[in-house]
Structure 1
Amino acid sequence: MKQAVTRFLSAVAMSALIVPAVAQAPTAPTAPSAAALPWLFVGSDIPVNTAWRFGTLASGLRYAVRQNKYPAGTLAIRVRIDAGALMEREDEKGYAHLIEHMTFRGTKSVPDGEGIRTWQRLGAQFGTDTNAFTTLSQTLYQLDLPKNDPASLDTALTLLSEMVTSANLDPKLVEIERQVVTAERALRQTPFAKRVQDVSKAVLLAGTRAAAADIAGTDATLNAASAERLRAFYNLWYRPERATVVIVGDADPATLEAAIRRHFGDWVGRGPAPTEPNYGKPETPKATSAVIADPQAPSQLMLNWVSQHDERPDTLADEASDLTRLVAVQVLSQRIARKARDGGSFLSGGAGYSEQRHVSDNMLVVTAPKAGQWRQALSETYGILADAVATLPSPDEIDQVAATIEAGLQAAAAGGATVQSAPLANQLVGAVDTGEVVAEPSFMLKLFDSQRKNLTPENVGAAMRTLIQSNARALLLSPRPVEGGNAAFAAALVEARATKAAARAEEKRVSLDDLGRPGAPGKILWTKVIPDLDVTRVKFDNGVELDLKRTGFEQAGVIVVAQAGDGLTALDPTKPSLLWTAPAIVQGGVGPLDFGGLERATAGKRIGLQFGASERSFSWSGGTTAAQLVEQLRLLDAAIREPRFDSNAFQRVRDGFVQNYDTIFNNPGSVFNAFASQPIHNGDPRFAMPTRAQVAAVTPDAYRAFWQPLFASGARKVLIIGDIDKSAAIEAARQTFGAAVTKPALRQPPSHLALKPPARLATPISFTHRGDPDQLLIANVWPTTGSLKDLPQMRALNVAAQIIQTRLYDRFRESEGGTYTPGVGSNQSETFPDYGVLIVNSQIKAERQADFERATREITQALAKDGPSADELARAIAPIASGNDRQRKLNMYWAQMLQGDLDDPRYVELIRTGVTGYQQVTAEAVRTAAQRWLARDPALRVIVKGAPPRAP
């Protein structure tokens, strides 16, 4: 079945599900003739989405364009080629992906390397704004162009059209890029991940072409990938009738259509068109279950029901049945998650449903068994499934899920006029790839309303039974050896299928009123305005500050952030922290409501609850609407006043951390992220990764004792950003946070802010990973300083980082093929006044360590000596400035930036000059900053090496 509408429904329901079903579809409108239908809607009775303009060139190339003014002055461009790993022969594995890389190595009129430089001059960041990826079914090129003038559009389409029509498959460049894709494969596909992939394919994809497909390729096929063989694949599959061009943005659709015709109109396929592959169909494998036991494996139990995908066009009847299936899966998912929270034999769990064109559909139930309890977890899971088959779902369960879906649809419909161009372009391309159509949020809401009456216990229960009554295929991942291995697991699976239905606990009805109400509304002490930022500041008599910004970026969308405590600066710099327990804060619930109670109390409402910890504060946040602002504020206020510190939630977080600890060592990057933070922060224990034993030793009392004092003073600042009425928002805050009882904020000792960059060490700090032993991660760290001490210097260092990144890319990736992702970042704190670092890192083959370090040293020292060229400077500044300009047109940007100290004029200037400050950076400023901070060898070198093989 298809799911154009229910794909969206599932997203707003906060799941990755899509679903088949049983409900009666609404009467379809009289369909126009096939000839009159746009190509995306042929065969469907879903009304045509008139916001899009569709067309087909004489060559067969299809296009879709749409005018959209968010963000203003920008364009989102996508070029899809209907060719991926499924189109490869056995001896061509990895070719589609390698060709994707080669298209960036030059075309008939653009020399190698010049394309990326052109993107930069247009203000697009390679890897962020312009990129490409290959899947089983497609190769997609995407560009988010920060300019919409005709010259920029023509330049962009010249590059993109030549990439797919006249790529330069030079033999020397093929040899270099072969090394790059091999490095990418090593980065993304660890030995353990490859093992899981191979076992999963055998169990889940038997009978399909996808079972043998390999996007990354093999050593044998990649080594045999000559320029001639790649050219043959390119000519066969890169054809206009297999291409789709999508452009969304701030331009007249007629202008966009004309540009597509101008740049793609003369494209003619080379040779005869290919025969569509036989994609196969799901078959029952010889073994329907498997065990993967490995120290790096997470504890995970997966039950899968595989079925053949319906390739027919998307219809209203499909959408109606899919909605019922979505609700069925969501109800089942909530039951499984509830069992974990109530002390089951698994720490977490849920259910999902996915569909993949040319492959299969998959119903999935997944749990994370507690250590040594996979048998019990299997039995308890089947007890839940048996109940789902034997007994209809309750109206309350269905209503909770349906209300959540409806609230999301209402919010999307209200904000439909300000959806950004990139998501719209991605939605259209996604519909092409999955064989669906695109519909506006308002239509989705109407469709839901027409089907709501069919979401009965009988229909939802029937959908649930259809999903899970047959025998499941199963995978067990375990960090410990499983006695008896595959045979024991297969036998346990047969036994578990006979488990009797588990008793279903009734849940009492709750509401946000159970959280209690604030006291008398507060008084306003003062109001101030920052005119050029359009920010209003209000101070209440209990000490809470309210900062508001009314925007039109996201129609009907509002973000609320409440800050309490002082974040990392509140922690003792001589002691390890328990920040790793932060996920338990929200999972524990609020006041009298556990997490399940919160879900029920907020069903049908557009309010949220997230918790975060930063250098400067702890924060509770949620997205809402102006109409529900008071309820959102009440929830955040209660979360600070009445933290629950639930011991069950904490123990699930702790135990999951303990039993999955070794997954950290799967690859160099995860080891670096986990363990390098402390040395990069000069050994400060606040940034230390705890050992497994330290995690296991933490008790619920210790968890509570750590967190409770950190926000015991109450909220100190509230932010409201979005589509609001300022007066109403101030009154809502006055009645909630303004009425709260607070305590004076603690003044932190100077030592808590005295964080320094890493001291100079003569020898590198070394860690080990247990992935591919040939892979190594190296990071060179230079100390700098805090950002607010010198804003021009901070921006010069950020520009320097961009230039170093480009030079490393040109030299070590583009010329030598030594790495896939050289990374450079300048991190200067706004909170710790003396802390800043510039880090250059990459994952490479161990044998290339000296080459990478030499390249890094020569590049940084050359920049310190001579500075950048005028073109380098412009290409570095343009993507940063355009990216910042686009960010400033998002509510989330202001929700982040306004969390800082608005009483500090330096910080206000940082916000004020986020674009203009970069446009004023000079070549001399970059050279001076590099000379001051980067001329010497790095102060710290961190290396993550492959561990020696384990003893047999």
Structure 2
Amino acid sequence: MVAQEIKPSTQSLQLKITPDQAELLPLDPAVKTGTLENGFRYFIRKNIEPQKRATFYLAMKAGSILENEEELGLAHFLEHMAFNGTKNYPKNELINYLQTNGVRFGADLNAYTSFDETVYQLPIPTDNPEIVKNGIQILRDWSQNILLATEEINKERGVIMEEKRLGKGAGERMQSKYLPVLFNHSRYAERLPIGKENILLSFKPETIRQFYSKWYRPDLQALIVVGDIDVEEIEKLIIAKFSDLKNPKDAPERKEYSIPLNGSNQFISVTDKENTSTVIQVLMKHDAPDFKTTIDFRESLKKVLFNNLMSSRISEIRKQADPPFLQGGSSIGDFMAGLEVASVVASVKPGQLERGFKAVWTETERIKKFGFTQTELDRMKNTVLVYQESSFKEREKTHSNNYVNEYLALFLKGNASPGKEYEYNFYKNVLPGIMLEEVNALANKYFTESNRDILVMAPESQKDSLPDEQTVLTWIKEVTSTKILAYDDAVSDKPLMANEPIPGKVTSVKEIKSLGIKELTLSNGIKVVLKPTNFKNDEILFGSFSPGGNSLYSDAKYQSAVNAVPIIASSGLGQFNSKELPKVLSGKMVSISPYISERYEGINGSASHADLETAMKLVNLFFTEPRVDRNIFDGLITNYKSSLINRSNSPSSVFSDTVSAILGSYHVRRTGPSIEKANQISMPEAMDIYKDRFADASDFIFFFVGSFKVDSIQPFLEKYLGSLPSINRHEQWQDLGIRIPKGRFKKVVKKGSEDKATVQLVFSGDYKYREKENVHMDALEEILKIRLTERLREDEGGVYTPSASVSYSKNPSKYTISISFGCAPDNVDKLIAATLDEIEKLQKNGAKKEDLIKVVSESKRTRETRSKTNGFWLGYLSAQYQLHEDLDELFSYEKLLENISSGDIKKTSISYLSMKNFIQFILLPE
């Protein structure tokens, strides 16, 4: 059966954007697409980022919206069953096979079900043709050969119920009340993908088989393949494997459902005793336009500009001594079911709903009356174009997942996918011609008085003080009738740095050829480690550290120390305040983040090659000219205190605070936030601590990784780092002596009303820090994940996603192993016993051979991919320098990994999963 190929357009980029001359957007020439005679579609693109990998997505236009009353939840249930046995991979063989070949379940291998679609995700290695062939066979099996064995269906009911249980809480309870309103009481309101409990527990296996037969069919399916592959070979495999798919006889119509707009307005107010925030949201729904033509593309650009401009305005309002809201927003965006929505939202302090809402609504009205200014628009156009240029430069090194998502939208929604070159040229040619009045006109077009929903959510304690619909409408009327002034876009033409620094010099250069790095020492003592790479075309990442951190300050000053960076970083920099600085930096591809952790301080960041000097100027200013702003400080503290008022309503917050406090032996630095602690934050003290941490650059080490040449970057290093102050303090961080308590005990927290429990098991103690031991501990973590998933999820059906995490440190030499899961309260003791039984098996028998193969394969594949990223190298170099470890360690990693034996895991589990220091934390409902 021959595929019918759709030829990609190669039309000219001479765009005509008048309504009567709209052109269809072309298909990206780099993607090969076709339709088989049975209706099955495919999209194939070669992309080498990451190398030797490909991402396969099997998408189908079948989701929960297609369920009848006896099938509620079965679209999602069916998605689960795809991993529980297919024709060629019965039971768990599918997951076992993929894990053995380096594909991680959950992290890599995954799927999702929504209202209108179900999508399976399968990333696989492509350096072995047999794995690629088998991967396509797996996708073919999912299409029409899922076994749906009765035994497996009945086992999966418990897993589904635990997934449903995890979603229970204040958010789910409130959602069940307001979603029918937001969905205009349409079919969508009754088709949440998770389904109905009574049906999930009692449906007959034949019912899900019938759903599978009706809707998993080739005329509703597509396969998307993007990666380091031979396009022609993949196409041949797809044609061979999928051409024999059959559409069912008398197949039901795949009806397109919608949320009808009837011009009416709605209001709903919901509260819950476990809710911690007060939020008001106004949603104005509209029919969403297509994204198929040049006019559609141009209209979307106007919304991009509008949303970014509005976000900047709202951000400025928050920079007040007493901000009117905690968070606010006003934007135009996608909704669902063919709708888009203009939304105004405010999350407010208790008792300030009117003030917060009016502040955001006022800004929306200001735009409707006066619009944005030309200077605002010009800056935003420049920023958007710079971002698009950066994206275009990286087009050959864009991750395959980005392309997959584009083709997914093309198949599911009919959205055009013209490709990065076309898009960049479109932005470059069309964006400059978008006029200010066009962007301003969107406010009156979208922020309308019909098809408008008003939603208020709050803690139950505020129920009696919440507004009704008429009150909110009165607030809106009061805003519109109030005199609103036009926005004053104060723009400075001052240079970023008032005074040019006097450069230092590079005094020594050390080359480490095995790693391709150079270590420079500057005249003020700063060390700079440089690793040029070609992983990205225009990305430079950098980081730094200096020993000390907030460990050098007393407990009385701790709150000021830990909050010093947020206060200073929010206040502006140098001669620019917090409102001026973003305008000065608009259009710059640069990000800078100072930090003060417990043991270190430093500055991290990123920049394009063109903006590296700007980044270096900012680094210099964060050392030499930090600012503190009383209004910013007061605003941050006010908002921080407000966020704590209802914190005790949340079961998860109470539980996490309890766990942290106990593991920190109730040290004041490990207990949860409080109003009392917020009152300890002093602005002068925070500024003094910040200046003290960055007063001496001599013990800083900087790391630069990315697309640069050493010769071109060196002048910036000498000028902006070499000029930093140096007083040669030779500091070290202090060990605060905070340790996890020894012994065995249980802590039960009773909080919340839902029938759900959370379990966290913690093992801790002394550790032998060395490379081989670290590799064994990392392997133990992965084996625990595999064993607990099989035991607690697959065998017991008692959890959805058990987790295991291992952490270890060199100074002090300590370790922590944490195992956690959510479950039914009645199953807590049984599942803890099952967990300890699996640990006992490891200690008695070591790891199973097949589990070791999975761990080694997964770890090698993950390291292979990650080691070709700038982020990996920045983290690796920083950690090795920080811990004074051998820089060549990574060369021995793979050998150590391959040599791990079952006996090694047995020994490691005996040493570090000892019951000597074992704490059980359990969250139960009240």
Whether TM exceeds 0.5 here: the answer is yes
CA contact under 8 A between 1:414 and 1:555: conserved in structure 2?
yes
Quick one: which amino acid aligns to residue 584 of structure 2? A
How many angstroms apart in 1 are the aligned matches of 2:483 and 2:299? 26
Deviations 1:859-878 (A, max 9, x none): 11211121112222111121
- The residue that corresponds to 1:362 in the other structure is 341
CA contact under 8 A between 2:310 and 2:331: conserved in structure 1?
no
CA contact under 8 A between 1:105 and 1:112: conserved in structure 2?
yes
Extract unaligned runs of 5+ from structure 1: 1-23, 32-43
Q: Percent identity?
A: 20
CA contact under 8 A between 1:720 and 1:729: conserved in structure 2?
no
How many angstroms apart in 1 are the aligned matches of 2:686 and 2:550? 16
Q: Sort the Cα spacing of 1:725 and 1:329 in 2 relative to 1 into closer, same or farther, 3 A.
A: same
Quick one: which amino acid aligns to residue 826 of structure 1? V
RMSD of the alignment, in Å? 2.8
Quick one: which amino acid aligns to residue 319 of structure 1? F
Deviations 1:82-101 (A, max 9, x none): 11122222442221111111
Quick one: which amino acid aligns to residue 147 of structure 2? N
Q: Sort the Cα spacing of 1:877 and 1:585 in 2 relative to 1 into closer, same or farther, 3 A.
A: farther
Quick one: which amino acid aligns to residue 317 of structure 2? K
Quick one: which amino acid aligns to residue 177 of structure 1? E
Q: Sort the Cα spacing of 1:285 and 1:841 in 2 relative to 1 into closer, same or farther, 3 A.
A: farther
CA contact under 8 A between 2:126 and 2:228: conserved in structure 1?
no
Quick one: which amino acid aligns to residue 820 of structure 1? Y
CA contact under 8 A between 1:547 and 1:719: conserved in structure 2?
yes
2:758 is the counterpart of 1:777:
yes
2:229 is the counterpart of 1:251:
yes
- The residue that corresponds to 1:327 in the other structure is 305
Secondary structure of the structure 1 residue equivalent to 2:48: coil
How many angstroms apart in 2 are the aligned matches of 1:575 and 1:495? 43
- The residue that corresponds to 1:555 in the other structure is 537
- The residue that corresponds to 1:719 in the other structure is 703
2:728 is the counterpart of 1:744:
yes
How many angstroms apart in 1 are the aligned matches of 2:409 and 2:494? 38
Q: Sort the Cα spacing of 1:265 and 1:109 in 2 relative to 1 into closer, same or farther, 3 A.
A: same
Q: Sort the Cα spacing of 1:669 and 1:57 in 2 relative to 1 into closer, same or farther, 3 A.
A: farther
Quick one: which amino acid aligns to residue 293 of structure 2? T
2:110 is the counterpart of 1:131:
yes
- The residue that corresponds to 1:454 in the other structure is 433
Secondary structure of the structure 2 residue equivalent to 1:865: helix
CA contact under 8 A between 1:383 and 1:501: conserved in structure 2?
no
- The residue that corresponds to 2:248 in the other structure is 270
Q: Sort the Cα spacing of 1:602 and 1:136 in 2 relative to 1 into closer, same or farther, 3 A.
A: same
| TM-aligned CA deviation for residue 287 of structure 1 | 3.0
2:579 is the counterpart of 1:596:
yes
- The residue that corresponds to 1:632 in the other structure is 615
Deviations 1:495-539 (A, max 9, x none): 323422532442322368244345211111221122222121111
Q: Sort the Cα spacing of 1:182 and 1:210 in 2 relative to 1 into closer, same or farther, 3 A.
A: same
Q: 768, 774, 777: which one pairs with 1:797?
A: 777
CA contact under 8 A between 1:668 and 1:945: conserved in structure 2?
no
CA contact under 8 A between 2:266 and 2:454: conserved in structure 1?
no
Q: Sort the Cα spacing of 1:329 and 1:926 in 2 relative to 1 into closer, same or farther, 3 A.
A: same
- The residue that corresponds to 2:787 in the other structure is 807
Deviations 1:660-687 (A, max 9, x none): 3367567665555444234334555433
Deviations 1:863-916 (A, max 9, x none): 112111222211112112211221111111122222224386635244444444
- The residue that corresponds to 2:281 in the other structure is 302
2:841 is the counterpart of 1:862:
yes
Q: 157, 182, 195: which one pairs with 1:204?
A: 182
Q: Sort the Cα spacing of 1:587 and 1:269 in 2 relative to 1 into closer, same or farther, 3 A.
A: farther
Secondary structure of the structure 1 residue equivalent to 2:591: coil
How many angstroms apart in 1 are the aligned matches of 2:494 and 2:798? 56
Q: Sort the Cα spacing of 1:824 and 1:584 in 2 relative to 1 into closer, same or farther, 3 A.
A: same
Deviations 1:605-651 (A, max 9, x none): 11112345556533433332212211111112212333323343344
Q: Sort the Cα spacing of 1:508 and 1:73 in 2 relative to 1 into closer, same or farther, 3 A.
A: same
Secondary structure of the structure 2 residue equivalent to 1:873: helix
Q: Sort the Cα spacing of 1:512 and 1:185 in 2 relative to 1 into closer, same or farther, 3 A.
A: farther
How many angstroms apart in 1 are the aligned matches of 2:265 and 2:365? 26
Report the more deviating stretch, 387-396 or 473-482: 473-482
2:87 is the counterpart of 1:108:
yes
How many angstroms apart in 2 are the aligned matches of 1:74 and 1:672? 41
Q: 910, 915, 918: which one pairs with 1:939?
A: 918
CA contact under 8 A between 1:297 and 1:477: conserved in structure 2?
no
Quick one: which amino acid aligns to residue 809 of structure 2? S
**What pairs up with 1:421-500 in 2 under 5 angstroms?**
421-470=400-449, 472-479=452-459, 481-482=461-462, 488-499=468-479, 500=482
CA contact under 8 A between 2:274 and 2:752: conserved in structure 1?
no
CA contact under 8 A between 1:308 and 1:361: conserved in structure 2?
yes
Quick one: which amino acid aligns to residue 172 of structure 2? K
Deviations 1:524-559 (A, max 9, x none): 122112222212111111121111111111111211
Quick one: which amino acid aligns to residue 818 of structure 1? G
| TM-aligned CA deviation for residue 734 of structure 1 | 1.2
Secondary structure of the structure 2 residue equivalent to 1:341: coil
Q: Sort the Cα spacing of 1:934 and 1:307 in 2 relative to 1 into closer, same or farther, 3 A.
A: same
**What pairs up with 1:166-315 in 2 under 5 angstroms?**
166-187=145-166, 189-206=167-184, 208-277=186-255, 278-284=257-263, 287-292=266-271, 294-310=273-289, 312=290, 314-315=292-293
- The residue that corresponds to 1:388 in the other structure is 367
| TM-aligned CA deviation for residue 109 of structure 1 | 2.4
| TM-aligned CA deviation for residue 239 of structure 1 | 0.8
- The residue that corresponds to 1:18 in the other structure is none
Report the more deviating stretch, 464-473 or 63-72: 464-473
How many angstroms apart in 2 are the aligned matches of 1:581 and 1:25? 53
2:856 is the counterpart of 1:872:
no
Quick one: which amino acid aligns to residue 232 of structure 2? A
How many angstroms apart in 2 are the aligned matches of 1:375 and 1:185? 36
- The residue that corresponds to 1:26 in the other structure is 17
Q: Sort the Cα spacing of 1:530 and 1:510 in 2 relative to 1 into closer, same or farther, 3 A.
A: farther
- The residue that corresponds to 2:909 in the other structure is 930
CA contact under 8 A between 1:307 and 1:360: conserved in structure 2?
yes
How many angstroms apart in 2 are the aligned matches of 1:565 and 1:508? 40
Q: 865, 869, 877: which one pairs with 1:886?
A: 865
Extract unaligned runs of 5+ from structure 2: 1-14
- The residue that corresponds to 2:7 in the other structure is none
How many angstroms apart in 1 are the aligned matches of 2:204 and 2:695? 66
**What pairs up with 1:438-837 in 2 under 5 angstroms?**
438-470=417-449, 472-479=452-459, 481-482=461-462, 488-499=468-479, 500-510=482-492, 513-564=495-546, 566-567=548-549, 569-570=551-552, 577=559, 579=562, 583-612=566-595, 614=597, 616-661=599-644, 670-695=653-678, 698-704=681-687, 707-714=690-697, 716-748=700-732, 751-752=735-736, 754=737, 756=739, 758-770=740-752, 772=754, 774-785=755-766, 789-830=769-810, 832-837=811-816
Report the more deviating stretch, 64-73 or 359-368: 359-368
Q: Sort the Cα spacing of 1:908 and 1:160 in 2 relative to 1 into closer, same or farther, 3 A.
A: same
How many angstroms apart in 1 are the aligned matches of 2:844 and 2:557? 41
Secondary structure of the structure 2 residue equivalent to 1:687: coil
- The residue that corresponds to 1:15 in the other structure is none
Q: Sort the Cα spacing of 1:674 and 1:575 in 2 relative to 1 into closer, same or farther, 3 A.
A: farther
Report the more deviating stretch, 338-347 or 534-543: 338-347
Quick one: which amino acid aligns to residue 65 of structure 1? I
Secondary structure of the structure 2 residue equivalent to 1:898: helix
CA contact under 8 A between 2:71 and 2:199: conserved in structure 1?
yes
CA contact under 8 A between 2:552 and 2:734: conserved in structure 1?
no
Report the more deviating stretch, 93-102 or 82-91: 82-91
| TM-aligned CA deviation for residue 713 of structure 1 | 2.9
How many angstroms apart in 1 are the aligned matches of 2:376 and 2:771? 54
TM-score normalised according to structure 2 size:
0.92
How many angstroms apart in 1 are the aligned matches of 2:463 and 2:229? 64
Secondary structure of the structure 2 residue equivalent to 1:476: strand
